[in-house]
Structure 1
């Protein structure tokens, strides 16, 4: 444990840079505690608070800008890929998109304080065409607020942090093991939350071929699009209605079947809404397997509502 603290003391800037970079790149390795510790050790270090802040902001900006460029190049495919490898629930894309559509680039100022928001927000900023200047401005502000708060807390409670570090040093190898166990418990908790979330999504689904056959045979299922207005503006399944669960007010006796679709991994949002609809008393409700992506990949038509268009770029 003493060697770890010595490493942080002698090479704190390098440790902070790598830790922040790795975390913002998507790895479940929290960097906020390291920022707090380095903030508490400022008096005994050879660097200033502003230097430490600059290093943390630079590392965060490099990772975030990488996600931004990936979003610009690969669009929503990058969002889906990111959510698949993330330990956060698959609904994170929809939640992040809702926040970003509502607040735009300024939401990046608080992105790092919201678990699961930062990386996805950067990808989303690129995917929707946010101007580079706006992205960089608000991302730098957000990174400065986030890392600055940790450094300030460390300096403010430096005595308490020092006492805690002394306890860990006295514990020696046991202190290292305790830190390792804490990290493993953090990762395990994230994994368990995701596993429980995926279990909740288990239910019967309808394929795009089955839905197309229904429509061609004269069937009239209620098709519900639960994506954000931003996504719906790019096209939706013909006849689909854009409603949230709270808005749906249909005569249950006149509804034969409800098909719900989204564009998130594992049809997460569609499955959640489907179960909520079933709880409201609707009989046969099924998510569309693969969502709008599977529908488009099968070569089926989509319609664009020009009266419901959402701007695809932000100043």
Structure 2
């Protein structure tokens, strides 16, 4: 264990740079504890704090600009790629779109304090066309706040952190095994949470080919797009209703939609997220509200586009598609 402490003391800035870079690229390797420890080890020399902060902020910017460029060049598809390596896919695209859609680049100021949010928010900024200069400004400020808070905490509690490191060093290999055990426990907990979410959302699904076939036969089910409203406006499956638009227009809870008899061919719900998690959540909510024939669309809009089917955006008048509500909103 002593050699690890010596490594951090000798190459702390390099360790910080690599750790922050790897985490911001999407790997589940927390950098905040390393920043706190390094800040504690450098606590006696305040002249080195600016360099430590600069190194960490630079690493974060490199990773975030990479995701920004990926989002700008490849669009919304890159968001799903990020979520596939995330240990929290249920909190990925949908929640990030909600936060970024409401606060815009300002959300980057706190993005790094929310696990899994920073990479998605960076890619989303590129996808929605946030100017690079604006993105870099808010992202750098967010990274500065994140890194600065960790370094400040490390320096503030430097004695406590140093005592803890001494205990781990005294334990030798057992100290290293303890750290490895805690890290593995963290990964297993995240994996178990992910697996539990996926199990809870198991249900029959519909393929894009099935949906297109029903459309060709004139048996089109009611299609619901659960993505952010801005994404819906940029492109959606023809005839699809926006889940967000309906809620905003009629100010009704999501569990209350048209009566079930108004959907003779059932409902199909889609999103743009791994394992159709957001769509499956809404489908489960609809089932609890009394709708029996509800299925998520496998692959969502990406699969629909990849199969070569048509996508429509805003109607010619420039307004969003309206929802035809008839009768009571209870199934």
TM range (shorter): over 0.9
Question: What is the rounded CA distance, in whole Å, between the counterparts of 2:92 and 2:296 in structure 1?
Answer: 18
Q: Specify the alignment match of 2:271 in structure 1.
A: 262
Asked if the contact 2:24–2:64 (Cα under 8 Å) also holds between the matched residues in 1, the reply is yes
Q: Specify the alignment match of 1:249 in structure 2.
A: 257
Question: What is the rounded CA distance, in whole Å, between the counterparts of 1:103 and 1:176 in structure 2?
Answer: 42
Q: Is 1:283 equivalent to 2:292 in the alignment?
A: yes
Q: Specify the alignment match of 1:203 in structure 2.
A: 203
Question: What is the rounded CA distance, in whole Å, between the counterparts of 1:38 and 1:207 in structure 2?
Answer: 50
Asked if the contact 1:35–1:151 (Cα under 8 Å) also holds between the matched residues in 2, the reply is yes
* RMSD (CA atoms): 1.8
Q: Specify the alignment match of 2:67 in structure 1.
A: 67
Deviation at 1:37, TM superposition (A): 0.8
Asked if the contact 1:10–1:45 (Cα under 8 Å) also holds between the matched residues in 2, the reply is no
Q: 1:81 to 1:220 in 2, by over 3 A?
A: closer
Q: Specify the alignment match of 2:122 in structure 1.
A: 122
Q: Specify the alignment match of 1:312 in structure 2.
A: none
The secondary structure found in structure 2 opposite 1:180 is helix
Deviation at 1:136, TM superposition (A): 0.5
Matches within 5 A, 1:90-169: 90-169=90-169
Question: What is the rounded CA distance, in whole Å, between the counterparts of 1:196 and 1:251 in structure 2?
Answer: 31
Deviation at 1:289, TM superposition (A): 1.6
The secondary structure found in structure 2 opposite 1:286 is strand
Deviation at 1:300, TM superposition (A): 2.4
Q: Specify the alignment match of 1:313 in structure 2.
A: none
Q: What is the number of residues matched between the two proteins? A: 309
Runs of 4+ deviating beyond 6 Å = none
Asked if the contact 1:89–1:197 (Cα under 8 Å) also holds between the matched residues in 2, the reply is no
Question: What is the rounded CA distance, in whole Å, between the counterparts of 2:146 and 2:91 in structure 1?
Answer: 24
Q: Specify the alignment match of 2:329 in structure 1.
A: none
Deviation at 1:47, TM superposition (A): 5.5
Asked if the contact 1:225–1:261 (Cα under 8 Å) also holds between the matched residues in 2, the reply is yes
Q: Specify the alignment match of 1:240 in structure 2.
A: 240
Deviation at 1:114, TM superposition (A): 0.5
1:30-83 CA distance string (max 9 Å, x none): 111111111111245695211111111111111111111111111112111111
Deviation at 1:236, TM superposition (A): 1.5
Q: Is 1:293 equivalent to 2:302 in the alignment?
A: yes
The secondary structure found in structure 2 opposite 1:204 is coil
Q: Specify the alignment match of 2:52 in structure 1.
A: 52
Q: Which runs of 5+ in 2 are unaligned?
A: 248-252, 322-331
Asked if the contact 2:211–2:220 (Cα under 8 Å) also holds between the matched residues in 1, the reply is no
